[in-house]
Structure 1
Amino acid sequence: MLPLPSAQQLRYLIALSELRHFGRAAAACSVTQSTLSAGIMALERQLDSQLLDRTVGKKVVFTPLGHEIALKGRQALEALEAVPQLAVAARTPLTGPLRLGVIPTIGPFLIEPLVKTIRTRFPQLTLSIAEDTTEHLLEKLGVGRLDMLVLAMPCLCDTAETLPLWRDPFHVIMPEDHPLARLSHVPVERLADQRMIMMEDGHCLREQTLAVCRQGREWHGTEGESDSTFSATSLHTMAEMVGLGLGIGVVPLLALEGGILRGHPVISRPLSGGPVWRTIGLGWRPRSPRSEDFKTLATAFSSLAPHPTQTLNQDFV
């Protein structure tokens, strides 16, 4: 009988199967690329089978057997990891480690109240936090490096079970002397001829901003138009760029109430016309044995909405 694969070997294989990139798979598993590669090669020797097709250059191509083993390995690993989690959850719900992932356009404004809520209401949870883009957080969630994510939807998060908490309305930020400053609300159509400052590629807020801009019938901008858009790595940087007169931006209310305009000659106006908000929500692995814990946390976190009227019903989709 062949020896059983180790959980670590399965994690390496699953990560590579999902990400199709050795570097990203290694990062998701928090190991070096050489360690991940060696682990998969050791698994191949152990099974006396080829799991990867190495005749196609640098592309990651699984053999039919490798693909099947990755699928079975995912099921086996989920079942294995569920055993201690089920035991802990049955003995005492909401205890033990909680590895939380949060995106950069939420973290600076929500981490403090999140931590306070957990420490006050769920003191038996041992919290750790990682900040990253949605794509990278979902990768880490998929390979078991994180337990739960705080997300801004809509986003490409089909691989996670999600639960919306509240709507976070979008506002336009602009220099104090900007022509749009005379308006009490800015219709999305008025964004068509503006120089927009957006988050850089990889941030879901960039895609959400583009979706808002495209609601205006005159909008013809694209992600690639470097002559008409600037990009920022954080909302604080965006506010500074707006204050320098480089353009205007679209930011969520959560960030405004977090003080990103403080110290800048910048004002904000609500957007109007169509769905002009993002949805703050939680995400976790489907079929997680801790799903009920996460739903309890969702109820607690709903109280952190800046305004009670933004809170969504739990069955909102």
Structure 2
Amino acid sequence: MRFTLRQLEYFIAAGETGSITHASERINISQPSISTAISQLEQELDTQLFIRHHAQGLSLTPAGRIMLMEAKRLVEQAESLYAAASEASEEVRGQLNVGCLTTLAPMVLPELSISFMSAFPRASIRPHADHQEMLLNGLHRAMIDVAITYDLQIPADIEFTPLVDLPVHAIVGESHPLARHSAVTLSELAELPLILLDLPLSAEYFTALFMKEGLSPNIAFRFSQPDIIRTMVANGYGYSLANVTPRSDTALDGRKVVRVRLSGENRPMTIGFATLKQLKKSRLLAAFATHAKSFISDAYIPGMVAPAMGQKKR
């Protein structure tokens, strides 16, 4: 066999994303390296795996579709060898696919992953970020091993371990009249323009807060990108609701946002890690779970103002 597992991993990334560019972003490998690996694989197998479309990405050939399934099976078997060796030697090693909710990922995922790999040098983390429905789908399809996410509509076959509750709060620009308030109610917000985080399950969570009080929010804009929402808020387009509390109060354009406590009994979001119940927990996964429990709590959350710290500031 004159092809490598690494070449197969590059091929899988390109096959699943349909793009050298997207594959490069997904696995953090340069585009020329991926293109070269695919060309070498095609040469070794004497088979065309992709049809190249100018400026429109790639599409798998019939042979390529079969190869993609077989390549994924081979890589999974290879990862199982590492896991088996880890279990036998009592050493934590191997690759773990860690998913994270897109609103949490920029803050939580980098520090959590780096600290875990520092503690266990023979282990590696392949990070993934997506919205809740895709994370749950990834667990069911074994595309990710564990997800750092919220307790939103967790199905019965998913095991969710809670780590910390995040209260909901309002975000306004620093010149907004509410920026000087210590707290605000949903009734005070209802008629003001809301910039809604429009992600599956998240949008329902925020609108349900108003419905519980018999109110209807005035939704002015919907965006699925938190950074756009923060910049819109900072520029005075309206307010938003959030549970995440980034340590930085600056939007990407340099303008400031202000966090205002939401009064009343409002359901918080609970950060935790989710795994498939029927999945046998490897030593690697168990070590990551223990690490996450020690790393995310009411007193400390990577990249965020933890609830306990936020209370001290008030």
Say whether the fold is shared (TM-score over 0.5).
yes
Aligned residue-pair number: 243
- Give 1:92 shift: 2.5
Distance in 2, matches of 1:178 and 1:126, equals 45
- Give 1:35 shift: 5.5
Residues 289, 168 of structure 1: alpha-carbon distance in 2 compared, 3 angstrom cutoff: same
* 1:1-317 aligned within 5 A: 85=83, 88-92=86-90, 94-202=92-200, 204-217=201-214, 219-221=215-217, 228-255=219-246, 257-261=247-251, 263-290=254-281, 293-302=284-293, 303-305=295-297, 307=299
Residues 251, 35 of structure 1: alpha-carbon distance in 2 compared, 3 angstrom cutoff: farther
Residues 89, 290 of structure 1: alpha-carbon distance in 2 compared, 3 angstrom cutoff: farther
Q: Is the 8 A contact 1:170 1:278 kept in 2?
A: yes
Secondary structure, aligned partner of 1:268? strand
Distance in 1, matches of 2:103 and 2:185, equals 23
Q: Percent sequence identity over matched residues?
A: 22
Per the normalisation by structure 1, the TM-score is 0.64
**CA deviation digits over 1:12-35, x for unaligned, max 9?**
xxxxxxxxxxxxxx77xx996875
Q: Is the 8 A contact 1:82 1:288 kept in 2?
A: no
Residues 259, 212 of structure 1: alpha-carbon distance in 2 compared, 3 angstrom cutoff: same
Q: What's the counterpart of residue 51 of structure 2?
A: none
Q: What's the counterpart of residue 3 of structure 1?
A: none
**CA deviation digits over 1:146-177, x for unaligned, max 9?**
11111122234444211111112222111223
**CA deviation digits over 1:52-91, x for unaligned, max 9?**
xxxxxxxxxxxxxxxxxxxxxxxxxx9xx98974564353
Q: Is the 8 A contact 1:89 1:290 kept in 2?
A: no
Secondary structure, aligned partner of 1:128? strand
Structure 1 gap segments, 5+ residues each: 1-25, 40-77, 222-226, 312-317
Distance in 2, matches of 1:240 and 1:171, equals 17
Q: Is the 8 A contact 2:96 2:145 kept in 1?
A: yes
The RMSD of aligned alpha carbons is 3.7
Q: Is the 8 A contact 1:113 1:304 kept in 2?
A: no
AA in 2 matched with 1:236: D
- Give 1:265 shift: 3.6
- Give 1:211 shift: 2.6
Residues 96, 271 of structure 1: alpha-carbon distance in 2 compared, 3 angstrom cutoff: same
AA in 1 matched with 2:209: V
Distance in 2, matches of 1:284 and 1:86, equals 19
Q: Is the 8 A contact 1:195 1:248 kept in 2?
A: yes
Secondary structure, aligned partner of 2:212? coil
Distance in 2, matches of 1:135 and 1:32, equals 25
- Give 1:301 shift: 1.9
